[in-house]
Amino acid sequence: QVQLVESGGGLVQPGGSLRLSCAASGSIFSINAMGWYRQAPGKGREFVAAITSGGSTNYADSGKGRFTISRDGAKNTVYLQIDSLKPEDTAVYYCNADITATSRNRRPYWGEGTLVTVSS
């Protein structure tokens, strides 16, 4: 009923930049927060960054300084700007959102992920 769709992943050289997008749609009453997680090959899913409806941001230590999360409330969209990409940033990046549906049911939603590959 609620969907998250990520975009913007791809192949980039070390030192390059990418801007990931995630748009939420469907029967949404409100979005409390949106964020990003990533999962590298053979690893578990880890937190990257999040932003609340009020604009407060939170970053994992691994993303501080190079990752910037932002939002467009009118579009129910969250962005992740990644600068100075490193090979260790290679992962599937998943969008996450804390959403209250029109039914008033509140739970996390996940996108299907977008692959970021950092390689020369």
Q: Measured between alpha carbons, how far apart are the two ends of the chain, in Å?
A: 40
How many Cα atoms sit within 13 Å of 88 on the Cβ side? 4
User: Model confidence over 100-119: pLDDT tens digits?
Assistant: 999 999 999 999 999 999 99
Q: What is the mean pLDDT of residues 7-27?
A: 98
What is the Cα–Cα distance from 112 to 13, expressed in whole angstroms? 24
Confidence of residue 64 (pLDDT cuts 50, 70, 90): confident
pLDDT exceeds 90 at position 62 = no
Q: What is the pLDDT of residue 76?
A: 96
Give residue 63's pLDDT: 73
Average pLDDT, the chain: 96
Q: Give the residue-averaged pLDDT of 22-34.
A: 97
Query: What's residue 116's pLDDT?
Result: 98
Tokens read off for 43: 């690893």
Q: How confident is the model at residue 1 (pLDDT cuts 50, 70, 90)?
A: confident
On the question of pLDDT at 50 being above 80, the answer is yes
Amino acid (one-letter) located at 86: K
Of all residues in the chain, what percent carry a pLDDT higher than 90? Answer: 94
